[in-house]
């Protein structure tokens, strides 16, 4: 039993830390990518709705005094 504990103490923790930091980097990349994609879709949708908007024709009636 003690040999197992000594083997665990001698184990190098760097591979585990490298995997954890890689997971964090990948997660941050995916969050940034999803935000960029959302902003791009919103900009395309607003440009599309702006291009299809018809100019409003507002005609004012002439008012005469008297």
pLDDT digits (tens, 9 = 90+) for 9-41: 566 777 777 888 999 999 999 999 999 999 999
Residue 65 resides in a domain: no
Residue 66 resides in a domain: no
Structural domain for 16, as ranges: 2-53
Instruction: Please tell me which residue, 4 or 36, carries the higher pLDDT value.
Output: 36
Find where tokens 């830390």 sit: 17
**What SS3 class is residue 2?**
helix
Given a cut of 90, whether residue 58 has pLDDT beyond it is no
Residue 60 resides in a domain: no
Residue 47 resides in a domain: yes
As a whole number of Å, the CA-based R_g of the chain is 32
Overall domain count for the chain? 1
Cα 20–Cα 24–Cα 28 angle in degrees, nearest 5: 170
Residue 59 resides in a domain: no
Residue 32 resides in a domain: yes
Q: Report pTM.
A: 0.56
Residue 33 resides in a domain: yes
């Amino acid at each position: 039993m003690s040999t197992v504990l000594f083997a665990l103490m001698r184990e190098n923790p760097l591979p585990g830390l490298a995997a954890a930091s890689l997971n964090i980097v990948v997660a941050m990349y995916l969050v940034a990518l999803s935000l960029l994609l959302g902003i791009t879709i919103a900009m395309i949708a607003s440009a599309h709705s702006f291009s299809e908007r018809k100019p409003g024709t507002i005609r004012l009636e002439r008012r005469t005094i008297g």
